[in-house]
Structure 1
Amino acid sequence: MADATAPGGALRRTMGLWQLTLLSVGATLGTGIFVVLGEAVPKAGPAIVVSFVLAGVTALFSALSYAELAGMIPGSGSSYSYTYATLGELVAWVCGWCLILEYGVSVAAVAVGWGQYVNELLDLVFGVTLPASLSAPPGTGGVLNVPAAAIVVLAMVVLLRGARESAVINVIMVAVKIAALVMFCAVAFTAFHAGNFQPLFPLGAAGMSAGAASLFFSYIGFDAASTAGEEAKNPQRDLPRAIILSLVLVTALYVLVAVAALGAMPWQKFAGTEATLGEVLVRAVGGGTLWPVLLSVGAVVATTSVVLTVQYGQIRILFSMSRDGLVPPVFSRVHAQSGVPRANTVIVSSFIAVLAALVPLGSLADATSIGTLFAFGLVNIAVVLLRRRNPDAPRSFRVPLSPLLPLLGVAACGYMLCSLGADTWIAFGAWMAAGLVVYWLYGMKHSTLGRPGTPVKETV
C-alpha cells in the first residue's frame, strides 16, 4: 500500500464564520472560569471582577490587531505568520517559540483542571475519588496526573479524524458549557450577598493587577480562529469577525460568572481548589447534589473543548513553522486522506500529555500568561509597522484609532508582564534561551528563506 503521507501538503477549507467563532470560544471559554479562578481570587479578592475587565480590555487591544492582520495574512500560523511577514524571521521565531509555550502549556494547564472536575464528579455521583498518587503531579501529593494526560490523548484521537469532524464536536461542547455557565449564574445569584464585595480592593491595586496577569491566561484562545486561516472558506472576511465576536462573548460571560461566584461565596474561601465553581455551589448554595453534578458535567465538557481547540492551534502553528524550515519537516506532512498533519498531531499531543501529568496548575498558568503577553505585544507592534510601511495594502478590517490602540495594547501587555513573579520570568528566560539555541543550531541552517529554488516568503 502506498504511503498516504507525503511531504508537505495543503489543508482543506471547511470552516465558515460560526465554526471559526466557536473555535475561538471553545478555546477560550472555560479556561479562566472553570480552572484558574480559584488560583486568581486569593491574589485580588473581590477586585477579581475588575481584574477580568482589565484582562479583557488588554485582550481587546490585541484582538483588534489580530483581526486586522488575520484579514491581510490568512495563514495557519497565527501571530507567528504575522510577525514573519512584517518583522522578519528571527522575530517570528521568537514569537513562534512564545506561542509554543502559550498553546502547549495552556493545554496542559486546562487538562489538569479537567482532572480536578472529573474527580469532583466521581465524588458527587459515586462517592469515590481517584487516589492522589494517580490524580496529582509530583510536589502536590501525587506521582502522576493520569486524568490530565488521558484527556490530551482523547483530544488527539478526535483531531486525527480531521478539521471538519473536530469542528462539529466543538460546536456541541460549546453549547453545553454555555448552558452550564448560565445555569451556574441562575443558581448562584439565589445566594448573592452584596457584602462579599466589601471592601472591593482588600489587597490593593497591586493585588488586582496580579489577578489580571494570572487571569490573562483565561483569554488565551480568542486568537484560535487565526490558526485556521488555511482551513477557512473566506478567511479575509470571516477571521476578523470571528476573533472580535468570540472575545466579546467570552468577556461578558466571564464577568457575569465572576460576579455570581463572588456574591455567593466570600473570596477568602476560594483558595485550595481548581474546581472553583463546583465549590461555590456546594458551600454557598446547598440544595443537594443536583446543581453541583450538572455544573461538574458542564465543566468537564468545557475544559474538554478548550483542550481540543487549543491543541488544534498548537499543531497548526508548528505546521507553519515547519513549512518555513524552522522546525523539522515531519511537522508539515499532511495525510492525503484525512487532510491532517498526523505526525505533528501525535508528537505535540504526546509532549503535552507528559507535561500535564507532571506539572502543577499554578506554574503552568503563569508560564502560559507570559508567553501569550509577549506574542500579543509583537502583534500590536506589527500592526503599527505595517500601517507605516504599506498603508494602502488591502485590509478587510482596520484597527480604529491606529496607532493609538495598538500602542495601548503594547503598554497593557507590558504592564501585566511586570505583574508576574520573578520565578515566572526566570523560567521564561530559560525557555527563550533554549529557543534561540534551537534556532541557531537548526532553524538558521534549514530555513527556506533565501534558499535557491524556494519561493520568496510573502511579505506585506
Structure 2
Amino acid sequence: MVEEKTVGAPAPAAPQRTVKQRLTRRKPVERLTEEAGHGEGGSLRRTMGLAQLTMISIGATLGTGIFVVLGEAVPVAGPAVVLSFVIAGITALFSALAYAELAGMIPASGSAYSYSYATMGELVAWVCGWCLMLTYGVSVAAVAVGWGEYINELLRLVTGASLPAALTQPPGADGGIVNAPAAVVVVLAMVALIGGVRESAWLNGAMVVVKVAVMVMFVAIAATAVRDGNFAPFMPLGMAGVSAAGATLFFSYIGFDAASTAGEEAKDPQRDLPRAIMLSLIIVTAIYCLVAFVAVGAMPWTDFQDTEASLAHILTVVTGTPIWSVVFAVGAVIAIASVVLVVLYGQTRILFAMSRDGLIPKVFSKLDKRGNPTANILILSAAIAVLAAVVPLGHLADATSIGTLFAFGLVNVAVIVLRKRRPDLRRRFTMPLAPLTPALGVLSCAYLMLSMGVATWVTFGVWMLVGLAVYFGYSMRRSTLETEPETAEV
C-alpha cells in the first residue's frame, strides 16, 4: 500500500533522543565529503590549485605577527626570542600535521569544526566552531586596527603629518570617534571577496610575493649590523620569559590552517591541502626565525619597545636614513591587508559549513548564481568593520591565541579518535608516529594556554559561556541531524 502525501501535512516528528545522544551525534566522514561536492543550495566552485592554497596559508599567517608581536616578545624573552619562535613553531607543527591528515580525508569548508563533528560529536564541534569565530572574527578586527596604525605611520614618514585621532581611535580613546582606516580595510577585503574566490586568490598571491620580498629586504639590510655581543645574555629572563614570549608569538602562526577552509574550492583537496599546509608552515617558520635572529643581532634587546615600529626602526638605525623604513611600512600595509583578506575568507567558509548544518541561520550558506556566499560575506564584513572601528579590543585580541590553541588541540584529538574509530578510511597523508605526535600536539597547546594571563582566560571563559547559551537555546534544536534517524550517525 502506497502512503499518500497530503499537501500541507505536518512534517514528521523528530526522533526522540536523550540530551546525551543529541550532544554526541556525529556526521559521517562520507557525508561531509559528499556535502563538499554538492551541498544544499549549490556548491562552492573548485578553482584553486596547490600554489593558490599555499599562498592562502602564507597570506593568512605572514603579517601582523612578525610586524607587531616581535616588538612585544623581545622585551620578555631577550635574544632567546628565537627560541620562543621555535617553541611556538613546534606547537604549530604538531597541529599542522594533524590538519594535513584530516584535510586530506575531509575536504570540507568547516576546517577544525567539521573534523570535530565527524569525530567527537555536535557539542564539541559547536565549541570548536565558536572558538574559530572568536579567533577569525576578532583577529580580523585586530589586524585591521594594526593596518590603520601602519597607514598612519606611513603618512608620518612620507608627509610628516598624520590622521586626526578622531578618525583613527575608537570612542573614548585619546579623543577618538571612529577608527576609519580599520573599517576601510575590512570593506576593501569584502569587495575583493564578493568579486570571486579566484580573483581574491590571485590578489592575495600578489600581496604575498610583495611581503616576502619585504622580509628578504629586511634580512639583507639588518644582517650587515649583526653583532655577537647583542646575543649576550641569551636568556636574561630565564625559561619563564621564553615560554611567555612563545605563547605571545603563537599569534604569529595563526592562519596556517586557512587552506583547510578552502577544502570545497580546491581542485584536488585530498592531494593539495596537506601539501599546502605543511609547505606554508615551513616557509613561514623559516622567515620568522631568520627575521628574529637578524633583528636581535642588529639591535640590543633592551632597545626593543612594545611597538609595531621595531623592525622599521632597526632599518633606520642600520642605514641612517628613513627611506628603507618607508619601503618597509609600505610592505607592512600590503602584508596586513593580505591577512585581513584571507582570514575574512576563512571565517566566511567556517560560517558556511555551520549554517549548512543548521547550527546558525541559513542565510550564511546561501550561494549566489556564481557559487559565492555573498550574503555571508556582507553580514560578516559589516559586523567586523563595526567591531574594528568602534571597539577597543584590549584583552579580547589576546583571546584569539587561546581560542586557536583550543581548536588546534581538538584537531589533534580528532586524529586519535578517527584513527581508532575509522582505520579503514583512505589517508593521503598520515601523521607520523601517531598517537604519540597528536598527543604531544595536545600537550603543547595546553602548555602555551597555561602560559597565558588570567584576563585572557576570563575572556575566553565568558565567550564559551555565551556560546553554550546560544547552542542550547538555538542550535541544538535546529541542527540538520535533529530530524534524521539514528542511522545517520556513526
TM-score (norm 2): 0.89
Taking the TM superposition and a 5 Å limit, the aligned residue runs for 1:14-413 are 14-138=47-171, 140-143=173-176, 144-282=178-316, 284-337=317-370, 339-360=371-392, 363-413=395-445
Structure number, greater radius of gyration: 2
Secondary structure of the residue aligned to 1:189 is helix
Separation of aligned partners in 1, 2:339 and 2:486: 37
* Deviations 1:245-268, CA, capped at 9 Å, x for gaps: 000000000011111111222223
Which segments of structure 1 move beyond 3 Å, counting only runs of 4 or more? 137-140, 358-362, 452-457
Q: How well do the aligned residues superpose, as a CA RMSD in angstroms?
A: 1.8
- Per-residue deviation, 1:349: 1.1
1:346-382 C-alpha deviation (Å, 9 max, x unpaired): 1111221122223456534421100000000000000
Query: Aligned pairs, how many?
Result: 451
The whole-number CA distance in structure 1 between the counterparts of 2:74 and 2:173 is 20
SS at match of 1:357: helix
Q: Unaligned stretches of 5+ in structure 2?
A: 1-38
For residues 172 and 444 of structure 2, the distance between their equivalents in structure 1, rounded to whole angstroms, comes to: 34
Shift in Å at residue 237 of structure 1? Answer: 0.5
**Counterpart contact for 1:7–1:334, Cα < 8 Å:** no
1:433 alignment counterpart: 465
Normalised to the residue count of structure 1, the TM-score between the two structures is 0.95
SS in 2 for 1:334: coil
Separation (CA, whole Å) in 1 of partners of 2:297 and 2:461: 39
Opposite residue 351 of structure 1, the aligned amino acid is A
Tell me which amino acid in the other structure corresponds to 1:147. P
Q: Deviations over 1:370-419 (max 9, x none)?
A: 00000000000000111111112100000000001000000000000000
Task: Determine if contact 2:53/2:276 at 8 Å carries over to the other structure.
Answer: yes
Give 1:13's match in structure 2, choosing from 46, 50, 68. Answer: 46
How far has the Cα of 1:40 moved from its partner? 2.2
Give the Cα–Cα distance (whole angstroms) in 1 for the partners of residues 221 and 109 of structure 2: 41
- Shift of residue 133 of structure 1? 3.0
Q: CA 1:165 to 1:371, structure 2 compared with 1: closer, same or farther past 3 Å?
A: same
Q: 1:9 is paired with a residue of what secondary structure? A: coil
CA distance in 1, matches of 2:288, 2:172: 31
- Give the whole-Å Cα distance in 1 for the aligned partners of 2:318 and 2:266: 44
Q: CA deviation at 1:65?
A: 0.2
Quick check: 1:217–1:365 contact (8 Å CA) kept in 2? no
Residue in structure 2 matching 1:449, options 444, 463, 481: 481
CA–CA distance in 1 between the matches of 2:227 and 2:78?
A: 15
What fraction of aligned residue pairs are identical, expressed as a percent? 66
Measure the CA separation in 1 of the matches of 2:300 and 2:396: 26
**CA distance 1:52–1:45, shift in 2 (3 Å):** same
Q: Is the 8 A contact 1:332 1:341 kept in 2?
A: yes
**Matching residue of 2:27:** none
SS in 2 for 1:335: coil
Which piece of structure 1 moves more, 14-23 or 444-453? 444-453
Q: 2 CA distance for matches of 1:226 and 1:398? A: 16
Q: Secondary structure at the match of 1:231?
A: coil
CA contact (8 A) 2:396 2:459 kept: no
For 1:132 and 1:273, locate their aligned partners in 2 and report how far apart those are by CA, in whole Å.
Answer: 18
The amino acid across from 2:326 in the alignment is V
Q: 1:453 to 1:406 in 2, by over 3 A?
A: closer
CA distance in 2, matches of 1:33, 1:437: 36
SS at match of 2:263: helix
